[in-house]
Amino acid sequence: MTPLEAALLGIVEGVTEFLPISSTGHLILGSALLGVADPDFTKTFEIVIQLGAILAVVVLYFKSFFDVEILKRLVIAFIPTGIIGLAFYGFVKMHLLGNEAVVLSALALGGVALIAFEYWHRESPEATADVRAISYKHALLIGLFQSIAIIPGVSRSAATILGGLWLGIKRVTIVEFSFLLAVPTMAAATGFDVVKNISLFSAGANMTALAIGFIVSFVVALFAIKWLLAFVRNHSFIPFGIYRILLAALFFLLVIY
């Protein structure tokens, strides 16, 4: 992987990690479009550089990770994803990651789900407005929704946000909780993948590419997080749904057809 390819994929990761459009799906499709060589390293690169974007959450929400009430809800929400992710890690990495047909299908179906949900959903005046007020039951259910995102192209943020809205949590609140939940989720996924594939990081070129992707994704994610919070205060997720469907159709023509 060249430094330019690593930087471009870092930009893609930073922009898409927290938007409900699937960062993994974009990285897989971006790698295919760029014709990136060494597919084994690329699969690990696509997981590990997400840590750069996650670091942006730690920087922006530093104080939240010292709030015991928030931490308890994050731990509960992480449990389902941790168990399901560990159980299906081998299958996902072997058969789903890098599978453009799976990604495009998930992108398109997820786009339809976003649009349909927004037309159906009406936020209740009694909706939960504080991350600390999210019930433990709802935190667990949000974790179950998040686990659906082990399928590349689904989008972790889309799954958690739609799940939270359906459970009666205010839009901005569930978006912030989704940001926070990304930290233990992606840190665990990254750590586990590095341990399983440590041999792929022995080459200097690989480490250089990883460092570039990490730094670029971190910087870009700082701006993406702030933009999304401002956007959701006055807009629905329908534009993201439309984008997902159009992107799936475009890549179907370019990559598969």
Predicted pLDDT at 101: 81
* Mean pLDDT for the chain overall: 86
DSSP string, the chain: --HHHHHHHHHHHHHHTTTTT-HHHHHHHHHHHHT-S-HHHHHHHHHHTHHHHHHHHHHHTGGGGG-HHHHHHHHHHHHHHHHHHHHHHHHIIIIITT-HHHHHHHHHHHHHHHHHHHHH----TTSB--GGGS-HHHHHHHHHHHHGGGSTTS-HHHHHHHHHHHTTB-HHHHHHHHHHHHHHHHHHHHHHHHHHTGGGG-SHHHHHHHHHHHHHHHHHHHHHHHHHHHHHTT--SHHHHHHHHHHHHHHIIIII-
At 209, is the pLDDT very low, low, confident or very high (cuts 50, 70, 90)? confident
Give the HSE-up count for residue 18: Cα atoms under 13 Å, Cβ half-sphere.
Answer: 34
Higher local confidence (pLDDT), 85 or 108: 108
- Average pLDDT for 11-30: 85
Q: 207: which residues sit within 8 A by CB, 6+ positions away?
A: 201
Predicted pLDDT at 123: 81
pTM given for the model: 0.86
pLDDT in tens, 40-58: 677 677 777 888 888 999 9
pLDDT in tens, 93-136: 676 666 678 888 889 999 999 999 999 988 888 889 999 999 99
Q: Which two tokens stand for residue 236?
A: 């629905």
In this structure, are residues 152 and 205 in contact, taking their beta carbons and an 8 Å threshold? no
Q: Which two tokens stand for residue 126?
A: 């009694």
In this structure, are residues 60 and 225 in contact, taking their beta carbons and an 8 Å threshold? yes
- Average pLDDT for 12-23: 89
For the cut 90, the answer to whether the pLDDT of residue 63 exceeds it is yes
Beta bridge partners of 128: 169
**In 127-142, which positions are buried (b, 16+ CB within 10 angstroms) versus exposed (e)?**
bbeebeebeeebbebb
For the cut 70, the answer to whether the pLDDT of residue 137 exceeds it is yes
At 139, is the pLDDT very low, low, confident or very high (cuts 50, 70, 90)? very high
Predicted pLDDT at 102: 83
pLDDT in tens, 166-197: 999 999 999 999 999 999 988 887 777 777 66
Percentage of the chain surpassing pLDDT 70?
88
For the cut 80, the answer to whether the pLDDT of residue 39 exceeds it is no
